[in-house]
Chain A
Amino acid sequence: AQSVAQPEDQVNVAEGNPLTVKCTYSVSGNPYLFWYVQYPNRGLQFLLKYITGDNLVKGSYGFEAEFNKSQTSFHLKKPSALVSDSALYFCAVRDMRGSTLTFGKGTMLLVSP
């Protein structure tokens, strides 16, 4: 069975500093990995995905993620955090059947002014 781990419940960063939100995964076969963001009282918004190819994936709002097969990780990064980036971030992997997203528990990102 596939699984996703987000080891940090919360990440605090000052505005303008780089941010990293960690994600590791376990899946049979090749992983399809996703990052989503959820603002308060809203649905999830797709940020980026890794399917194949370049290990550095660029997504929406200046976010990027680096796929590392040997470490089974897919960490989300941004060079310069904004206060408006404060939200709940979910990493997810799709399973072999192809229809089911398995989510991590989520990481709350708080960016202070």
Chain B
Amino acid sequence: DTEVTQTPKHLVMGMTNKKSLKCEQHMGHRAMYWYKQKAKKPPELMFVYSYEKLSINESVPSRFSPECPNSSLLNLHLHALQPEDSALYLCASSQEASRSYEQYFGPGTRLTVT
């Protein structure tokens, strides 16, 4: 089963709120990713976790805080976001964080910051 699930599907939050996005995979993958995608644009990498450790942070503002509680779960904690942070947030996983493995994407969380 090549499925990555994400909750919630939609999220509306004010600039002072704290919320979290959740991602789960049960494929035994050891690499997990967060991407941000604006409409009709390619996904932009935010974070990479490899074996539950943060391996890449693409200079993401500190108002985004990732967490990997275990090998199947990935969270993205949100705090004091700006309207320009409104986007589709995609989670992905791959067998390992190496060049040959394809990434499998979840359906995304559509975030609107008001």
Contact = CB atoms under 8 A, between A and B. Distances in A.
Contact of A46 (B48, B97, B104): B104
A88 interface: yes
A100 B45 contact: yes
Given A90-B42, A99-B48, A99-B56, A44 B99 contact: no
B108 A42 contact: yes
Interface string B86-98: 0000101000011
Nearest to A52: B100
B50 interface: yes
Nearest to B110: A41
Interface bracket on B: 20 to 34
Interface stretch (A14-22, A62-70, A71-79, A103-111): A103-111
A58 interface: no
A81 B97 CA distance: 34
Determine which residue in A32, A41, A101 has the highest number of CB atoms from chain B within 10 A of its CB, and name it: A101
Nearest to A30: B99
Interface in B73-114: 90, 92, 97-100, 102-108, 110
Given A32-B100, A99-B31, A43 B41 contact: no
A55 interface: no
Contacts of B104: 46
Contacts of B97: 98-99
Interface residues of A, number: 24
Given A44-B43, A49-B100, 11 more contacts: A32-B100, A43-B105, A46-B102, A46-B105, A98-B97, A99-B48, A99-B55, A99-B97, A99-B98, A100-B45, A104-B42
Contacts of B21: none
A103 B100 contact: no
A106 B41 CA distance: 7
Nearest to A88: B40
A104 B103 CA distance: 16
